[in-house]
Amino acid sequence: MVDDHRQRILLAAARVYAVQGWRGATTRRIAEEAGVNEVTLFRQFGSKEALLDLMMHECSRIDEAAILPREPSEPGAELLHWVSAHHAGLSGRRAMVRQMMSDAEERPDAGHCAAHNASTAAAHLREYVVQLRRHGWVLAGDEITPTEVRAAVTLLMGAVFADAMNRDIMPMLYTEPLDDTLRAYVRIFLRGIGAPKEPVALRERTVDRLPSSTFPFSV
Amino acid sequence: MVDDHRQRILLAAARVYAVQGWRGATTRRIAEEAGVNEVTLFRQFGSKEALLDLMMHECSRIDEAAILPREPSEPGAELLHWVSAHHAGLSGRRAMVRQMMSDAEERPDAGHCAAHNASTAAAHLREYVVQLRRHGWVLAGDEITPTEVRAAVTLLMGAVFADAMNRDIMPMLYTEPLDDTLRAYVRIFLRGIGAPKEPVALRERTVDRLPSSTFPFSV
DNA sequence: ACTTGCGGCAAGTAATCACTTGCATTAACA
DNA sequence: TGTTAATGCAAGTGATTACTTGCCGCAAGT
């Protein structure tokens, strides 16, 4: 019963905050949205700041992102699935992420919460690229530098982030359907890191010839 | 003198708004920042809403973006220069853009202002790609579809946008220096639309064999 | 039956919000 | 020199802010 109330208030706070931001998320509005008395809010959480801080941390704990397989078998399809899931997650939290990023100027903690998901997702993608390389999906010895591979990761992550954040308010930029766009993102990304569309002829033990230490991805 | 006051107030409003957002940009703080009596603000602009609306429209009028040449001669360098300028512009307005995007939920006009620069920049880039193709810099007849080229534009724009917005609060994602990253963005973009690094052998009048009508970029 | 604790309700706190009014000052222009 | 328009200053408007206090009802545990 107790936790039920706390949860309801936290969810209400998240909804109000996503639309109205920190200053607009008044204790009155949150209480009204939760269907509780305003005083209950203070008795449960102490202050507005404590409540919103907790809410933001709870929100950033959610990791609903799809998982990239450890052993790549179909990079294009796997990446598309993962990117779609990541985009969907970001898109669903769009309003809240926007508020957090604007609050980052005054409340660094909000920025941290907004960055958390993106950071872990980027780490997953980096690890996946390492595996791609390990399993011979990436043409080694290219003119593609390790820095460029790292940049390709932030390029893809950034493009998906911007797409999720801006597609609704920039119709001039995002004219093509979401599906086609994400598919193209993935294709360009794979081309960018030197992975051909067709499966590379499986060279046996490419791993031995490309020790992971030469690759600058530790995590 | 009069315009001097108005300008000072508008600039002060922009500074305060960029940090504190709409609700945080109180008339008191703006007047104090401008070194003007609070009443002057109301006598000049009528209301807080009128002042901030005007300020946002003035801000979105500024088009400091570098210009992409009509006749591409060195795509890599030209694009890098343009992307750097675009990133610098966005980066300088970072705080304000973030506030506008969070206000977009309640004040659609703020969203429009935030979208304006990105939209015109994207139009420029699209036009440049058309010119690239016209002058034979792009390998035609590839497996690269027009939709993919369009997506490449939004990919690059989105990545630069995200980089400018998030680099300061996501150190885990943006570990490489800005210059190297932008350079890599451009290289991957060019590879993504099928433009090789080295200048293509100038085929005479490729234009005739590739009428622009087959290319879906009208603007 | 009695305690304990949680929640609703009504009221009130000082601070801040956007905005207004009246009056004195100042500087330009006639 | 007189007029006019813009500004500063002091004060005050009602609304809203976060937060507190005191009292009462209710349900569960002992």
Mean pLDDT of A141-167: 92
Nearest C-alpha in B relative to A25: B23
Distance A69 CA to C14 C1' (A): 58
Predicted confidence at residue A198, as pLDDT, reads 57
pTM of the model: 0.89
Position B212 pLDDT exceeds 50: no
Taken in order A175, A99, A21, B93, is the CA torsion positive or negative?
negative
Q: Does B17 touch chain A (CB under 8 A)?
A: no
Q: pLDDT averaged over chain A? A: 87
Position B31 pLDDT exceeds 50: yes
Which of A38-47, A120-129, A177-186, B191-200 is the least confident region? B191-200
Please tell me which residue lies nearest to nucleotide C17, judged from CA to C1': B26
Cβ-Cβ contacts under 8 Å for A20 (sequence gap 6 or more) = A26, A29, B105, B106
For residue range B160-198, what is the model confidence (pLDDT) as tens digits?
999 999 999 999 999 999 999 999 999 999 999 988 765
| Angle (deg, nearest 10), helices A178-192 and A75-92 | 130
User: Counting beta carbons within 10 angstroms of the beta carbon of residue A138, is it exposed (0 to 12), middle (13 to 18) or buried (19 or more)?
Assistant: buried
Predicted confidence at residue A54, as pLDDT, reads 97
Mean pLDDT of B2-12: 88
Mean pLDDT of B93-101: 97
Position A202 pLDDT exceeds 80: no
Predicted confidence at residue A2, as pLDDT, reads 52
Q: Where are the beta strands (DSSP E) in B43-126?
A: none
What is the full DSSP assignment across A53-95? Answer: HHHHHHHHH---PPPPPSS-S-HHHHHHHHHHHHHHHHHHTHH
B115–A166 CB contact, under 8 Å:
yes
Which residue type does B34 have?
Answer: A
Position A133 pLDDT exceeds 80: yes
CA neighbours closer than 13 Å in the CB half-sphere of residue A31: 15
Q: Does A206 touch chain B (CB under 8 A)?
A: no
Position A216 pLDDT exceeds 60: no
User: What gap in Å lies between CA A53 and CA B135, rounded to an integer?
Assistant: 55
A101–B104 CB contact, under 8 Å:
no
Q: Return the structure tokens found at B78.
A: 């030209």
Q: How many CB atoms lie within 10 A of CB B169?
A: 21
User: What gap in Å lies between CA A24 and CA B191, rounded to an integer?
Assistant: 46
Predicted confidence at residue A204, as pLDDT, reads 42
Taken in order B121, B21, A52, B94, is the CA torsion positive or negative?
positive
